[in-house]
Structure 1
């Protein structure tokens, strides 16, 4: 039924009643908080995993359940990852730990110094302590296993992008044991560090502290030539190329 003024008898022009929360915003009115949140730029993500099927599934799943992340690239090998991440410069890299040509730690070794703003989150089937410690020491900001739910993975990505460290519950203890050096904690092995002899570690420790070769020789009661031999051996074993990289590598492993 219409009224004398030509309306249909309701208070709203679209069948809604003012005050019930469904009326349209006035022109020029600020967006509702939830609309502002949805307009935030999603976290850009780069996937690194040697299984193409997993990458395809992870990409589809992540982008279907949330607008908080956006996959901007992917790679199946260390070489592809280094090239792609350097080109795209994502906010977060989801990084597989084990790959045929070196794995996550190798990707981190090549990129950490060049791209300090890129955050790496390890995503692996492995929950072995040595894998966790190796990749965290290499520079990853967190480590989660592939048993994680899609929703929790999105949360983990957003958190590391915001500066938090994220670990699957059981894995956090490994990191505490390795870096806090709690009394009675079982030592965690580092495959890269374990390959050095005690004398090579001594030389590396002094080198990272800024000692010259002659000073190292004097401190350890060995010849300068022997120091040079040890440094060459350490460079070969760690696949590093200069003293600066060795110093940073030693500092990361708390040898200094």
Structure 2
């Protein structure tokens, strides 16, 4: 089987190290670069000329979709496989619309990730089982993508992260721990989210997110 060159894009160095270690066990995968944000990702892709880019959805500098937009078109262009902690519908659909060939969550095993990379390199579309339903629903019109985009465009990347966790029932303290920010910062983001979405409480936010299949 031919070698697959991979660039790993994630803003957490420890996670990149772990993924590299997992991929190094495969004789057919060769990691040719790493990146932590949009600018370093674009550079790594230009220099490494990978077959597949493992791409986190939320990155400093604009996110995974911005990487796909800015990355240079190298020979055949790399195929993008989103590897994210997020399993929210708007992230999955937005990333696929941005050009990714697949989307898997970080609960995936090392062996499953190697298999997903090989399949994406070969031209297949790969999704974690639950996430495939989001894409099918989007094409079937079950999820009103235009409405989701319009609402979410009002929020910053960090506000979206806070919104999703709060809507899932996390406390402010738990959100602060999850995102490595202060409770005061969580409160500020939450206030902005409610104001921008014209909602009055976290209970309304949960209903809003649930109605849009964002949880």
- Bigger Rg, structure 1 or 2: 1
Q: 1:86 to 1:172 in 2, by over 3 A?
A: same
Task: Please report the TM-score for the alignment, with normalisation by the length of structure 2.
Answer: 0.66
CA distance in 2, matches of 1:192, 1:166: 27
Residue 20 of structure 2 corresponds to residue 52 of structure 1 = no
* Of 128, 131, 134, the match for 1:174: 134
Q: For residues 74 and 126 of structure 1, what CA distance do their matches in structure 2 show?
A: 20
1:44-67 superposed Cα distances (whole Å, 9 cap, x missing partner): 010000001110111011112x21
Deviation at 1:187, TM superposition (A): 2.1
The equivalent of 2:167 in structure 1 is none
Give me the CA root mean square deviation.
1.9
1:163 pairs, out of 123, 126, 131, with 123
- Summarize the alignment of residues 122-141 of structure 1 with structure 2, pairs less than 5 Å apart: 122-141=82-101
Indicate how the Cα distance of structure 1 residues 102 and 195 shifts in structure 2: closer, same or farther if over 3 A, else same.
closer
User: Structure 2 CA distance, aligned partners of 1:42 and 1:96?
Assistant: 23
Q: Which runs of 5+ in 2 are unaligned?
A: 155-215
Equivalent residue runs for 1:1-256 within 5 Å: 40-64=1-25, 66-111=26-71, 114-115=73-74, 117-181=77-141, 185-188=142-145, 190-191=148-149, 195=153
The runs of at least 4 consecutive aligned structure 1 residues that moved more than 6 Å come to none
Structure number with higher relative contact order (C-alpha < 8 Å, ≥ 6 residues apart): 2
CA contact (8 A) 1:133 1:190 kept: no
Write out per-residue CA displacement over residues 148-183 of structure 1, whole angstroms, 9 at most, x where no aligned residue: 0110000000000000000000000100111233xx
Structure-1-length-normalised TM-score: 0.56
Change (3 A) 1:192 1:83: farther
Contact 1:177–1:187 under 8 Å retained in 2: no
Q: In the comparison of the two structures, how many residue pairs are matched? A: 152
